[in-house]
Amino acid sequence: MQYRRLGNSGIKVAPLGLGTDNILNPTPEDESKRMILRALDAGINLLDTANSYKQGESERVIGDTLAETGRRDEAVIATKVHYPMGPGVNDRGNSRRHIMRACEDSLRRLRTDRIDLYQLHRPDFDTPVDETLGALTDLVRQGKVVAIGSSTSPAWRVVECMLRAELKGFVPLATDQPPYNLLDRRIENELVPAALTYGVGLLPWSPLAMGVLGGRYADDDIRVEGSRAAVRGGIYAERVSQRAVETGNLFVRMAREMGEDAARLAITWVKDQPAVVAPLIGPKSVEQLEHFLPVLEMSLSAEVAAACDAINPPGSAAANFHNSAPWMKMQL
């Protein structure tokens, strides 16, 4: 397995990251801990969480697991700040006040003295970008944060952050975490070129398109019992549209005709795209994690890449995985 640089930082990570939104939601704590340890055993060192995942409980489980086993230094912990963590008007967003307090809270839950990658969960257009970058830079200089990143940001905001960092001496973004899969390729139009220009590494979320690219949904049954779309509803259900399922199943049939596992191939497709450091997989069990591990050694052939382009062309979208980003005006 070839480890990759985490964007423009010197940190090295495996070409897959473990997403932890499923910890306690619905994965039980004991199984969650086993997943974390199995990921580390397999060489997956990037553990991605957020303070808003189960209101801090995901961070707590990660922190307890690493502290109890003495494996903190094996892990690259990535967490996020932005979403509400209390009822107050200042208990959210990307202001200095919220970032500084949220960081301390995350450090306590994670039982660590540093966060390896501290990410802005969403852009905050009400807070001056210099205030946000200034707060993150101070945390880096204090040794509480090693590198910084953003998530689900428009390309222009990523470029703005990089230019402001160069102009004002702030710490630059090392990464951005966009939604990216074969069904929603819109980041290829602007974000990917910007990331390549500025050395920003991409950590795509939902590479399996919520299971659509793994063959979970039938063309005539897009509300599978137990699926995230069915259980959580809302924006999750919106992503699993009829068009998304039908397009996804074209990919599934293509993968099976090639003798490939569709889920593994879909993640490999994301992993081998330009500017991508590591797609974030979100297994609900150790068994699911085991199923994804072969992707660490897989590679995308030119033949498969061309076949995928024929299913959903570069820069286009058959599903809306940007529907949690108010700045995205294009709706499907």
CATH at residue 202: 3.20.20.100
Between the alpha carbon of residue 330 and those of residues 176, 185, 320, the distances in Å are 20, 13, 9
35, part of any domain: yes
What is the model's pLDDT at position 136? 98
Only one residue has tokens 């997956």, namely: 44
132, part of any domain: yes
What does the radius of gyration of the chain's CA atoms come to, in whole angstroms? 19
Only one residue has tokens 């660490």, namely: 296
CB burial of residue 286 (10 Å; 0-12, 13-18, 19+): middle
Give the integer Cα–Cα distance in Å for 170 and 150: 14
Only one residue has tokens 């009400």, namely: 126
Paired with 4 in beta bridges are: 13
Tokens of residue 6, six digits: 């985490």
Domain span including residue 65: 4-210+262-300
Pairing of strands 173-177, 201-202: parallel
- Other C-beta atoms closer than 10 Å to the C-beta of 126 total 8
183, part of any domain: yes
Note whether 131 and 96 are within 8 A (CB): yes
- Other C-beta atoms closer than 10 Å to the C-beta of 326 total 10
242, part of any domain: no
Of 151, 202, 188, the C-alpha closest to 316 is: 188
159, part of any domain: yes
Give the integer Cα–Cα distance in Å for 206 and 74: 25
What is the model's pLDDT at position 64? 98
* pTM of the complete model: 0.96
Write out the chain's pLDDT in tens, 332 residues: 999 999 999 999 999 999 999 999 999 999 999 999 999 999 999 999 999 999 999 999 999 999 999 999 999 999 999 999 999 999 999 999 999 999 999 999 999 999 999 999 999 999 999 999 999 999 999 999 999 999 999 999 999 999 999 999 999 999 999 999 999 999 999 999 999 999 999 999 999 999 999 999 887 777 777 677 777 788 888 999 999 999 999 999 999 999 999 999 999 999 999 999 999 999 999 999 999 999 999 999 999 999 999 999 999 999 999 999 989 988 78
What is the model's pLDDT at position 231? 72
What is the model's pLDDT at position 27? 97
| Cα dihedral 45, 48, 53, 59 sign | positive
Give φ, ψ of 197 to 5 degrees.
Answer: -70, -40
Give the integer Cα–Cα distance in Å for 187 and 281: 19
53 is catalytic: yes
84, part of any domain: yes
129, part of any domain: yes
74, part of any domain: yes
Give the integer Cα–Cα distance in Å for 298 and 263: 12
Domain count, the chain: 1
Question: Which segments within the chain are labelled E, that is strand?
Answer: 4-5, 12-13, 17-19, 46-48, 76-81, 115-120, 145-151, 173-177, 201-202, 280-281
Give the integer Cα–Cα distance in Å for 264 and 269: 9
Which residue type does 166 have?
Answer: E
What is the model's pLDDT at position 223? 72
Query: Which of 53, 118, 180, 198 is flagged as catalytic?
Result: 53
Give φ, ψ of 260 to 5 degrees.
Answer: -110, 150
